[in-house]
Amino acid sequence: MLLLPDLLDLVLPQQCAGCAQPAALLCPACRTWLDGLQPARTEPDPFPPGLPRTCASGSYDGVLRALLLSHKERGRLALARPLGALLAGAVSALGAGEVVLVPVPSAAAAVRARGHDHALRLARSAAAAAGLRAAPLLVPARRVADQSGLSSAGRAANLAGALRVRRPLSGLPVVVVDDVVTTGATLVEAARALREGGARVRGAAVVAATRRR
């Protein structure tokens, strides 16, 4: 039987999501480290054709990777605020001006399994931090296979035509946002669908970029 303190511990883990030190959400060291991140242009190698100018807040490893996984897979939703602030910094680094932030949609089954739509949550948090609007304008057009284990070319083929816009976007300036960029195939497909839907894609912004090994 679970007692109330155990339940509270499940609901409110008293560990820093970045380094597992005792802390309510983030320890002071991890907060300071996050504050020091400088968003920068990122380019996957090989560069995928059709990828808009992309900015990332940092590398997908260490503390940043731990925070993103904790938010996405372990439901530490309070991390949406600091991660959203980082994403807002990456959007701002694009210098794109007044844009609507459009999250990359997850498959409905993945959203159900996780209990939330992590990219939409980050987009909304980033929009609030940046004084912009976020809108889930993209939806899956068909099922796609699991991306893990696929090559860059395999990912691109798997994703071609996978997304569509909800409605015509007649000239709307947008920035695509997501938590992580790896090969860039997802951002390419999102940008393609938005352009075909009539939007003006001013760039893409992510919290973290996977470094090439």
Query: Residues in the site for Zn ion, rule: CB under 5 A?
Result: 16, 18-19, 27, 30
CA distance 18 to 14: 12
- Minimum CB–partner distance for residue 137 and Zn ion (Å): 35
Instruction: Give the span between the Cα atoms of 183 and 196, in whole angstroms.
Output: 22
User: How large is the C-alpha radius of gyration of the chain?
Assistant: 17
25 versus 185: smaller Cβ distance to Zn ion: 25
Name which of 34 and 176 has its Cβ closer to Zn ion: 34
HSE, side-chain direction, 13 A CA sphere, residue 132: 27
Q: How far is the CB of 166 from Zn ion (least distance, A)?
A: 39
Closest distance to Zn ion from the beta carbon of 75 (Å): 18
Whole-angstrom distance, CA of residue 158 vs CA of residue 146: 9
Q: How far is the CB of 35 from Zn ion (least distance, A)?
A: 13
- For the chain, the straight-line distance linking the first and the last C-alpha, in angstroms and rounded, comes to 46
Residue closer to Zn ion, measured from CB, 15 or 92: 15
Nearer to Zn ion, 66 or 119 (CB): 66
